[in-house]
Amino acid sequence: MYKGLLKHPKVVLTADRTLMSPYRGISLASFFGCAPAIDPNRSHNTLLYKLLRNQVTPRILFDFICNPISHHNGIADYAPYGLRKVEASLVRDGYSTEDVVVAHPDYVEKFIGPETEVVGTYEMDPLGMGPVTMTFTYGRKQMSYDEFYNRDLHMKINRAKEKNGSKAKVIAGASGTWQYNYDPAKIEEYGLYGIVEGDLGGIGPEIDGAGASFFDALINNELDTANPFKKNPFKVEIKEFERSGNMYHGRFIHYWNEPKVDEIPTIINPSMHGMIEVMRGCGRGCKFCDVTLRPLRYYPVEKVVKEIEINMKYGGLKNAWVHSDDIFVYGLNPRTTKNMQPNREALEELFSGIMSTGIEHTNPTHGTLAGAIADERLIPNISKIIRASPDNMIGIQCGFETGSIRLIGKYADRKLSPFKPSEWHWVVKNGIKTLNENYWVPAFTLIMGLDNDETVEDSWETIELIHSLETEQPDSKFTTTPLTFVPIGLLEKSDFFDIGNTMDAPKLGVMYKTWQHNFKYGIQKFMHKVGRDNPVKNVFFAGLARTLGGVPLGAMERYARKRGPEHERVIEKIKANYW
Ligand code: SF4
């Protein structure tokens, strides 16, 4: 039982360590959760095994970077934004603050007891099948830290239930729950009562709109079985899976209503990294993305300001990480706005409102390069408002996707609007130039094996585009992260890109080129930032940067040697001509 309260809370919400870490104040480092943790197949006769056993990224290093969130008596001081929304929706709809707790993963067992009805876990990449993770673990041949710590959390929950005599239903939610369809044995292993799934593949349902009605239905056993005769906003589907001669079952709960903006609750406690939301949905229609399937809605400035004030008042936060799918779409109507022309006035008003709260730093999470340069006054004006400077650089994640004009035109033509697919290389180069000149640094993601349709020529076009950026604009600042194709959005019927078995030589080349680039800019820079306040630490982290950068490049070189001369030739060609 936790201090200060007389009984265990009815609803315990939590998330694993990789989602409950401030990552030493560097929000983009949250990608480290995708790093490989365990190699179950490592030979016991190797020196590496003698040194590290099965560990791939040493746990001591990972745990240092992914430091645990602070807490008070086991109650997390900060939590993932989505979890905060669920908490807020319950309190808004009549649950008392003593009935709902957001628990620190290391102390979750204190809160689970006989009175606990539901344990809700927030899961973004529970089985390490997200695109970044699949890339780092060679298609799940190794276990990622995301999966490692999610498993660890479920084991803790199960132990606590057993020890404390709890019959609580464990329910997994958020955008990664689709992964249980691909490894249903885990449903049983983790003892999951249910999995909240969106109606459209990987897209997470907006359960915060449903609030208490969802938890009431859970608690009252209304979701135990599928009942086609009762009208219910939650559709229960009992799925049956056969895997290697074994049968597995899972209760998947679907919810597909999209709340209107005023039905979306406002957070009541601080979110991780100071995250707040300004919009849901994106009208650009990229075929490989599930966000675009949601209707587009914008928060009014007052609602955004309220959430920042919560983070400042109760979390002492001085920054606002603005969740957006394409921030440059904010305030426009994709059906009527010609060529997706950004609504500069709306964006200026939004960022002025954000800065009026007194925060010191803000940056949007995502934006498109085309949107950034569609109006030449847009980035300079926003930069002025948010006081971007060499000491206040603005990070933004942008989809680079591919250097192939053919692929971008086929799968994401509106991502480029108002420009044409044939102008893609120009858009990338000018986008980076404009962003960098105004103190923004894009973190690019690329998709490897897009819809299993990427040809040798497509891969080389990507390598050449990155290289031409490095040579034509040598001072450019950007990072590149290759992701393997995962079938979601309009391509949910396609197959995963199987990086472990089907990566041809040029695709390995794309991966190698992106890491070469990151090594030069991203990793060294990150480590310098971590160690900047202490010269000894600085030397240590510079060494660490060399090791971290060298490890994936070395691993890819070894992989190429194993695969044969064609793969080796591509690596040699990149080293000789594209470095
Ligand atoms: S621009 Fe980004 S968020 Fe919008 S549809 Fe394309 S990939 Fe999805």
DSSP string, 491-540: GTTSPPP-HHHH--HHHHHHHHHHHHHHIIIIIHHHHHHHTTT-HHHHHH
Q: How confident is the model at residue 1 (pLDDT cuts 50, 70, 90)?
A: very low
Place of tokens 């650089």: 393
Segment (H or E) for 369:
helix 369-373
Predicted local confidence at residue 156, as pLDDT: 98
Predicted local confidence at residue 27, as pLDDT: 63
Q: Is 562 helix (H, G, I), strand (E, B) or coil?
A: helix
Best mutation site among 282, 332, 369 for ligand 1 pocket (most ligand atoms within 8 Å of CB): 282
How far does residue 373's CA lie from ligand 1's centre (Å)? 16
Q: Which atom of ligand 1 is nearest to the CA of 289?
A: 8
Residue range 99-110: mean pLDDT, rounded: 97
Best CA proximity match to 88, nearest among 277, 281, 352: 277
Residue range 175-202: mean pLDDT, rounded: 88
In sequence order, what are the beta bridge partners of 401?
446
Residue range 208-228: mean pLDDT, rounded: 90
Q: Is 64 helix (H, G, I), strand (E, B) or coil?
A: helix
How far does residue 127's CA lie from ligand 1's centre (Å)? 24
| Residues 372-402: b if buried by 16+ CB within 10 A, e if exposed | bbbbeebbebbbebbebeeeeebbbbbbbbb
Predicted local confidence at residue 537, as pLDDT: 61
In sequence order, what are the beta bridge partners of 193?
none
Place of tokens 């089907």: 502
| Burial grade of 41 (CB within 10 A; 0-12, 13-18, 19 or more) | exposed
Q: Is the pLDDT of residue 460 over 80?
A: yes
225-264, pLDDT tens digit by residue? 877 777 788 989 999 999 999 999 999 999 888 899 999 9
Average pLDDT value for the chain = 90
Q: Which residue has the higher pLDDT, 197 or 310?
A: 310
Is 399 near ligand 1, meaning CB less than 6 Å away?
yes
Q: Which atom of ligand 1 is nearest to the CA of 288?
A: 7
Residue range 79-104: mean pLDDT, rounded: 96
Peptide bond just before 418 cis, omega within 30 deg? yes
Predicted local confidence at residue 536, as pLDDT: 64
Half-sphere exposure of 432 (CA within 13 A, CB side): 23
Residue range 424-446: mean pLDDT, rounded: 96
How far does residue 285's CA lie from ligand 1's centre (Å)? 7
Is 99 near ligand 1, meaning CB less than 6 Å away?
no
Query: Which residue lies with its CA nearest to atom 3 of ligand 1?
Result: 325
How far does residue 289's CA lie from ligand 1's centre (Å)? 6
Q: How many CB atoms are closer than 10 A to CB 219?
A: 16
Helices (H), 25-144: 47-52, 59-65, 81-92, 108-111, 131-136
Place of tokens 């807020």: 88
Q: Which atom of ligand 1 is nearest to the CA of 285?
A: 5
Best mutation site among 287, 408, 415, 490 for ligand 1 pocket (most ligand atoms within 8 Å of CB): 415
Cα angle: 251, vertex 252, 253; to 5 degrees: 115
Predicted local confidence at residue 115, as pLDDT: 95
Is 197 near ligand 1, meaning CB less than 6 Å away?
no
477-532, pLDDT tens digit by residue? 998 988 888 888 889 889 888 877 778 999 999 999 998 898 776 655 555 555 55
Cα angle: 299, vertex 302, 304; to 5 degrees: 55
Predicted local confidence at residue 100, as pLDDT: 97
Q: Is the pLDDT of residue 448 over 80?
A: yes
Query: Can you give the pTM of this predicted structure?
Result: 0.90
DSSP string, 168-213: PEEEEESTTGGGGGT-THHHHHTT-SEEEE-SSTTPPP-HHHHTHH
Q: Is the pLDDT of residue 133 over 90?
A: no
Q: How confident is the model at residue 549 (pLDDT cuts 50, 70, 90)?
A: low
In sequence order, what are the beta bridge partners of 534?
none
Lowest mean pLDDT segment, chosen from 109-118, 119-128, 409-418, 518-527 = 518-527
Q: How confident is the model at residue 48 (pLDDT cuts 50, 70, 90)?
A: confident
Q: Which residue has the higher pLDDT, 293 or 22?
A: 22
Q: How many CB atoms are closer than 10 A to CB 261?
A: 12
